[in-house]
Structure 1
Amino acid sequence: MAPPLPSGTARPSRADLEAARGTSLPDLLGPGLRLLICGINPSLWAAATQAHFARPGNRFWPALHDAGLTDRLVDCSAGMTSADREHVVARGIGITNLVARATARADELDPAEFVAGRERLARLVAERRPAVVAVAGVTAYRHAFAQPRAVLGRQDQELCGAQLWALPSPSGLNAHASRADLAAAFAEAARAAGVL
C-alpha cells in the first residue's frame, strides 16, 4: 500500500507516482455487497492517491454515474472522500483488482499474476458473497480465468456462486469502448446484481 499523499495535495507529483510503483490499494468493500467490480490492477495514480480508477482520463466513474450506479459524479483524481466511499458501498458496490501491484500499464504484469489474482478473488467472493463479479477488462478476464475466447457480457461459468461478467476496460487507453458503451455494460451487470 502506498503512503497517502499529504493533506491538501491536489495531484500526485512525478515522484509520488514513481514511489507508488509496485505498491497496492485496499479493496473498497462494505456490508450488503451485491456487485463486485474487479479492475485489472491499480495504476500508479490510483496507488498514489489510494483511490480506485483515479487517473484522469479513466472513464470508470463517469460511466458509473451515467449508468445510474452513483447519484453524483465521483472525482477521486486527488483521492476519494469518505462521503464518496460511503455512497458507493451503501449502494452495494465494491471494488477490487485482479492484481494488487501498481504499474504504469497493465502490459507490465506477468501472466502468473493473473492466475494468483483469480485465486485471491475467489477467496474474497467466497467470503463476501456478491451476486455479480464484473471484471473490467475482457483481456484480463481471459488471462485470469483461462478463457481465451471469452467475449464481453455474462460468462457461462460462475465464481463461488457469483455470476461472472467481463466488461470493457474503462481505461482511457481502451479506444474500443465509448463512455456510453461502458455505462450500458456496467448497468447490465448492476441489474443482474440487483443494484439497479
Structure 2
Amino acid sequence: MDRSPLGAGRGDRRVLQRSGGCRVPGGGFLTCGLTAGPHGPSDRSRQPPHDQDTGLEPGAGPDPKHCEVTIDTSSRPALNDVVAERLVVIFVGINPGLQSAVRGHSFSTPGNRMWPALHSAGFTPRLFRPEQERDLLNLGLGITSLIRRPTPSAADLTHEEYVQGTQDFLRRMKSLRPTWLAFLGVTGYRAAFGDRHASTGMQPAKIDGANAWILPNPSGRNAHFPPAALAQEFTALRIAAGLPDRRRTRHSGVTPTDTGRS
C-alpha cells in the first residue's frame, strides 16, 4: 500500500496507456501501449529497464507506472491486511496507492519512506522490502488502511468513502484488539474522525480500547518531514509503545517481554 486512508464495491481506473495487457497481483488488469497526451495519442510502448521495477514476474509485462490499471475491490480488498489479534502497533494508512495495489504489497510506490522510517526508528532489525511485510507480525506489528479502494492519491477519495471506510475499519479493529493504532497522516485522521484540530503524536481519545497516535504521512511528497524528522516521529511512537530498538537486538522475533503482553 501505498496506503495513502472503503469504497468496497468500486473499482478504480486510471488510464495512462492502452493496448496489450496482463493480470496483476491486486486482482486487476493492466494494459499498455498508447499514451494519451495533450495533442492526442502517441506510441510510447516500451519495456522498463529492469523487470524488478515493475513488481511483476520477469517478462510479465510493461511498467505499471505507464499503464492503465483497473482494480476490482468488489469481492476483496486490493491489498490484504497484514494483521493478527492483539498486535502491539497496527499502522493505518489512508488507502492503497495504485502502484502498491498492482504490486500486491504495502508501501511499494517508489519514493515512499515507510520501510526506511520503520528501520530508522528501530521497529525493524533491518530494512524490510515491501514483499517482506508479513515479517512485521513476528515483531508485534501490522498494516491496514481506513479505505480499501486504491487511488492515485488520497485526494481522489470522497466524503462518503471516508464515512463508510471508517465504519468498516472500526469493525475490524474491534475484533483484533491492538494496543496502539498509528495513523499515517494527520489529514486522513481528521477526515475519518472529524477532528479538525488533531495533530501528530498521541491522541486524547482511545479507539475501541486502543491508544491512538498520528504519524506524519511517509509519502515522498511530504516535504514537511525529511527522513531524519520522520524517523524521530516514528521513534517517539516506538518508545511510547514500550518496544525495544530492534536494530540493537540479535533476533527479529517478538516475545511477551518485548510487548508487555502475556
Q: TM-score range by the shorter chain?
A: 0.7 to 0.9
Alignment of 1:60-75 (within 5 A): 60-75=114-129
Post-superposition offset of 1:180 = 1.7
Of the three residues 203, 220, 235, the one matched with 1:155 is 203
* CA distance in 2: counterparts of 1:16 and 1:27, whole angstroms: 25
Distance (whole Å) between structure 1 residues aligned to residue 62 and residue 232 of structure 2 = 30
SS in 2 for 1:165: strand
Cross-structure match for 1:127: 175
Contact 1:33 / 1:130 at 8 angstroms: preserved in 2?
yes
Structure 2 residue 139 is the aligned partner of structure 1 residue 87: no
Residue 18 of structure 1: aligned partner: 69
Q: Deviations over 1:28-61 (max 9, x none)?
A: 1135511010001100011001111110100100
Q: AA paired with 1:27?
A: D
Distance 1:148 1:52 in 2: 27
* CA distance in 2 between partners of 1:115 and 1:12 (Å): 34
Of 57, 68, 90, 1:7 maps to 57
| CA distance in structure 1 between the partners assigned to 2:79 and 2:109 by the alignment | 14
Give the superposed CA RMSD: 2.3
Other-structure match for 2:113: 59
- The one-letter amino acid of 1:3's match is G
Greater CA deviation, 181-190 or 49-58?
A: 181-190
Go from structure 1 to structure 2 and tell me whether the alpha carbon gap of 1:88 and 1:175 turns closer, same or farther (over 3 Å shift). Answer: same
Unpaired runs of at least 5, structure 1:
none
Which stretch has the larger CA shift, 140-149 or 175-184?
Answer: 175-184
Largest Rg, 1 or 2: 2
Contact preservation (8 Å) 1:21, 1:103 = no
Secondary structure at 2:205 match in 1? strand
Equivalent position amino acid for 1:125 in 2: M
Unaligned runs of 5+ in 2: 1-24, 29-54, 245-262
Higher relative contact order (CA 8 A, sep 6+): 1
The two structures have a TM-score, normalised by structure 1, of 0.87
Partner of 1:101: 149
User: How many residue pairs get matched?
Assistant: 190
Distance of aligned partners of 1:138 and 1:123 in 2 relative to their CA distance in 1, 3 Å threshold: same
- The 1:123/1:191 distance shift into structure 2, 3 A limit, reads farther
Q: Is the strand fraction higher in 1 or 2?
A: 2
